[in-house]
Structure 1
Amino acid sequence: MDRAKPDPPEGAITAGSDFLQLDVRDAPPGGLADWLAGQLRAAVADGRLPVGGRLPASRVLAAELRVSRGVVTEAYQRLIDDGHAAGRGRAGTVVVAAPVVAPSPVQRPVPAKVITALPGADVFDEVRASPARIDLTPGVPDLTAFPRAAWLRAERAVLDELEPSHFGYGDPRGAPAMRLAVSRWLARSRGIRADPGEIIVVSGVAQGLTLLGEVLRQRGVDEIAVEDPGSLGARQHLHHNGLATPPIAVDDDGLRVDELRASGAPAVLLTPAHQFPTGVVLGGERRRDLMRWAAEGGLIVEDDYDAEHRYDRAPVPAVRSMLPEVCYTGSVSKLLAPALRVGWLLPPPRFREDLVAAKRFADLGNAVLAQLVLARLMETGELERQLRSVRARHRRRRDAMIRAVTTSLPAARVHGAAAGLHLTITFGAPVDDVALAAAALAEGVKVQPLSWHRQRPGRPGLVMGYAARTAGEIAEGVAVLGRLLR
């Protein structure tokens, strides 16, 4: 009987004792999976495992190395989590991307005083432009997981069906197909019933806040209360329109509505589903009190921040689903990618015409092709599939950051772990969080000081994103913070 093995398929990486010259005797005791993942990662980086190459079947490599199959599958899973490989069913595990080598800090020195106690209007531009080995900036999804294949399929389908007239100027409110898709998305994912004619497509939540600020100023409103702590970026957009932002305290139940009522502010911006940066959810009694405040004439602006990314709790309904007079805004920046610059505004009827006019004179409306592609992803269920796909990966990275904080920053308290794309940590002892974040950036690690997002004194801390980084990078970055703190 001929027991010779058939030749491997063309393009496959030959398995066997010669594969990458691996020798398990080089592995540290108890660290086989870590060692194997590191060897594979290094081989992808230096080109020995080319993009498009297929890894050996896990059972074959396990037999050749004389280790359990679980060791190999764990190592492969880590490459998949890193975004360097992908499981292709019967086609096996395929290398899909090589690591990006960070620019040398010697060639591109960190600009002086990027992270300061009084950040300027361009601080986020400066931080993004600063080189770093490990970027733990909050609010960024896993960009390696962008559904390129699904996007290309949808784009081809849209272009096949597109009439020449669609390449002209469109409705400043947004493409009808996009507004219809958004209305259906909000109905099934956030419990919001809205007619497509009520929706305005905008260039992200940032533009939505800018347009709303402009309209409020035209109507004589000169302030809008905000959460404290709350998003520095949101405050900057409101300040750009000349609006004051009186701070309202946030506790474990969310915004203090009694403090909001006492402030006399005519409007409030809040993130009730997953408060930025603390991660708390607006409690039921607070929601009822907030609706009573709105019934007395107050305007609620709801930024539905991170509502879809949850791990350890049930979904929280949008305030807009219970109160039609809420001005609601959301986007795909955390679902797909910030670079798409597509979001939506669902204003109360009394503001709609003014906001459409503001959008018209701002840019004549968003790019239509991207809207139509997104609409198709929403309508075909691809967006839900994408969300389910990345949720498990984000959960693993969340868990990795919690482990890293427990190990390297044992005195820190973790906030907002049940949902979102970031964690906030606070320190009980006096810590200059601005100095700590600045020192971390000098060491090639990006985080944000919690004090940036406060208007009043409070406990120092850091805001750290985990969704866009691998478990190894997260552990290394948090270890740097621990060393600097010590």
Structure 2
Amino acid sequence: MTWHVMLEVVRDGPVPLGAQIADQLRHQVERGLLTPRTRLPSSRQLAEDLRVSRSVVVEAYEKLTGEGLLESVRGSGTRVAAHADTRIRKPVVLVDRAIPPVRFNLLPGTPNPVTFPHREWTASYQRAVESARWQGLGYPPLLGVDQLRSELVSYLGRVRGVLGSPEDTMVTGGFAHALGLVCGALRELGIDRLAVEDPSHDRQRQFIEENGVRTVAVPVGPDGLEVEPLYASGVRAVLVTPSHQFPLGVPMSPRRREELVRWARDTGGWIIEDDYDGGLWLEQRGRHLALQPTGPDRVIYAGTASKLLAPGLRLGWMVLPPELTGLMERVRVRRDLGCDGLMQLAFADFLRSGLLDGHLRKMRSRYRAQHGALTRAVERFLPAATLIGPVAGLHVFAALPEGADEEALVARALGLSVLVKGGRVFHDRPHTARPGLVLGYTALGRSGVEEAIRRIGQAYDQQPGGASWAS
């Protein structure tokens, strides 16, 4: 294998050639251009590339090895030292602090990477590569490759009840990408405010605002989003999670769905349906289909593979009212040139082969067992909490007694190596909301879920400073 780095030397300058090579390599390591464990060319190869003596390169390599920036590994040549990472890194932010390393991660929304169907996905991707023509290797259509749009319409119709056509289906790079496009389309329509559920995902609200659209919080009741405040707000667009409300988990009732669609038709408004974990209904009966078929002319349906397979795939989709398809294409052409064609062809094969159906069948069985373990653990170790909503998705909301110190409980659980998110952060006015915990239970095994809840129960039972958790 021939490795290459970007170096230049000045032969008639005052600085010796070896020092020039060492200085440039040192600069690239310090800037992070050469990352830890990066292989460097052999001294013979680099000497040939720069047309200098091999001894000059050996001298530079030895100097940097002595400084601890490079290391020589038998059988692997010279590489940047594993510890030579001088870049300043920004932490990944969780609310207002970095995500700490913990033993038990109960953050919601992430499937267990162990469950990813590696063999089946690899087979689909290989078939996609082998059969790829121009659609897979060239710039893909803005709406997405034909094969995937056709498969999505078929799959969403039989599994989620969605009504649509390939011509009005758009493939995106996940839901955030889709939401950004929707915000752009709303602005084109003269709509600068978007109603959101209260509670809802805090980062989603921030994302919408950063895309130039103001958010208006509308309360969620036992039947889903309250429609009367929606009328009163005067907004002309609303974002909802009707099948499994995030974070409370309550499904929108059939009556409330009809009222919401009636609002859209009365006001000329638009409904954006985020079906973020559609297909992961875990109860044997009472499965809720998508809202979209209740009003396909007013609902923008959006889904994603992030919860079904893995967020790293960056695959999402929208089924659009025909009236909006052209507008959405015009908005998109100013932003990007479409999504990875080979990834789309692989996912089309995954759908066509029934592999996604088989994978989700296994996941529902696995998650059902984990949810059962969570329920039993809460009953045993955290009996003051009340679990809300049906058995569905990748999380459950645990309501705490009024007056419980949610923030202190979350902090004390972290001290016991359990990372869990409180429920108040998802509310528009956190200080007025009932305390609770949003428990993601799919990233751990059943024994891990039980131990995590036991530790949260231990944190809840502790009385710091002689004061009880609930006043």
Given the two structures, how large is their TM-score scaled by the length of structure 1? 0.72
Deviation of residue 112 (structure 1)?
Answer: 10
1:330 corresponds, among 303, 306, 310, to: 303
Structure 2 CA distance for partners of 1:164 and 1:306, relative to 1, 3 Å: closer
Q: Do structure 1's residue 306 and structure 2's residue 277 form an aligned pair?
A: yes
**Range with bigger deviation, 428-437 or 167-176:** 428-437
Structure 2 counterpart SS, 1:455: coil
Unaligned runs of 5+ in 2: 1-89, 462-471
Aligned to 1:467, the other structure's residue is in SS state coil
1:484 to 2:459 alignment: yes
The aligned residue for residue 349 of structure 1 is 322
8 A contact 2:400–2:436 mirrored in 1: yes
Label 1:220 to 1:148 Cα distance change in 2 as closer, same or farther (>3 A). Answer: same
Q: Which amino acid aligns with 2:167?
A: G
Residue 240 of structure 1 deviates from its aligned partner by: 1.1
Residues 321-344 of structure 1: CA distance to partner in whole angstroms, max 9, x if unpaired? 121121110011111011101000
Quick check: 1:179 aligned with 2:152? no
Give the aligned partner of residue 173 of structure 2.
203
Does residue 466 of structure 1 match 2:466? Answer: no
CA distance 1:292–1:417, change in 2 (3 Å): closer
Count matched residues.
367
- Asked if residue 414 in structure 1 is aligned to residue 384 in structure 2, the reply is no
C-alpha separation between the residues in 1 aligned to 2:92 and 2:382? 25
Deviations 1:50-95 (A, max 9, x none): xxxxxxxxxxxxxxxxxxxxxxxxxxxxxxxxxxxxxxxxxxxxxx
- Greater Rg, structure 1 or structure 2? 2
- Contact 1:275 1:305 (C-alpha < 8 Å) held by counterparts: no
Structure 2: how far apart are the matches of 1:417 and 1:476? 23
1:442 offset after TM fit, Å? 3.8
SS in 1 for 2:276: coil
Shift of 1:237: 1.7
- For 1:369 and 1:442, the matched residues in 2 are separated by 44
Helix, strand or coil for the counterpart of 1:237? helix
Distance 2:333 2:451 in 1: 47
Tell me the alpha carbon deviations over residues 171-196 of structure 1, each in whole angstroms, 9 at most, x when there is no partner: 12111111111111111111122111
What are the equivalent positions in structure 2 for 1:166-315 lying under 5 Å apart?
166-296=136-266, 297-312=268-283, 313-315=285-287
**Is 1:398–1:417's contact at 8 Å kept on the other side of the alignment?**
no
Which residue number corresponds to residue 26 of structure 1? Answer: none
Aligned to 2:48: none
> What amino acid maps onto 1:299 in structure 2?
W
Aligned to 1:22: none
Shift of 1:307: 2.2
Residue type at the aligned position of 1:238 = I
Give the letter aligned to residue 354 of structure 1: L
Say if 2:338 is the partner of 1:365.
yes
1:235-274 residue CA offsets vs partner (Å, 9 max, x unmatched): 1221111222211111211111112112222111101111
Deviation at 1:437, TM superposition (A): 2.1
Alignment of 1:123-162 (within 5 A): 126-127=98-99, 130-162=100-132
Contact conserved, 1:414 with 1:426, CA < 8 A, in 2? Answer: yes
| Amino acid corresponding to residue 371 of structure 2 in structure 1 | R
| AA of the residue aligned to 1:363 | D
Runs of 4 or more consecutive aligned structure 1 residues displaced over 4 Å after TM superposition: 111-115
Among 365, 368, 372, the alignment partner of 1:392 is 365
> Aligned partner of 1:248: which letter?
V
Tell me the C-alpha RMSD between the 2 structures: 1.9
How far has the Cα of 1:364 moved from its partner?
Answer: 0.8
SS at match of 1:193: coil
Q: Which amino acid aligns with 1:391?
A: R
**Distance of aligned partners of 1:359 and 1:406 in 2 relative to their CA distance in 1, 3 Å threshold:** same
- Cα deviations by residue, 1:359-412 (Å, 9 ceiling, x for unpaired): 333231111111111110101111000000111100000011111111111101
Spell out the pairing of 1:414-453 with structure 2 (5 A cutoff): 414-453=387-426
Counterpart CA distance in 1 for 2:409 and 2:422 is 8
Amino acid aligned to 2:287: P
Q: In structure 2, what is the Cα distance between the partners aligned to 1:255 and 1:474?
A: 31
C-alpha separation between the residues in 2 aligned to 1:167 and 1:441?
47
Contact 2:278 2:303 in 1 (8 A): no
Map 1:81-120 → 2, pairs under 5 A: 119=95
Q: Distance in 2 between matches of 1:183 and 1:288?
A: 23
Q: Which amino acid aligns with 1:476?
A: E
Contact 1:276 1:305 in 2 (8 A): no
Counterpart residue number, 2:289: 317
Contact 2:251 2:389 in 1 (8 A): no
Larger displacement relative to structure 2 (273-282 or 317-326): 317-326
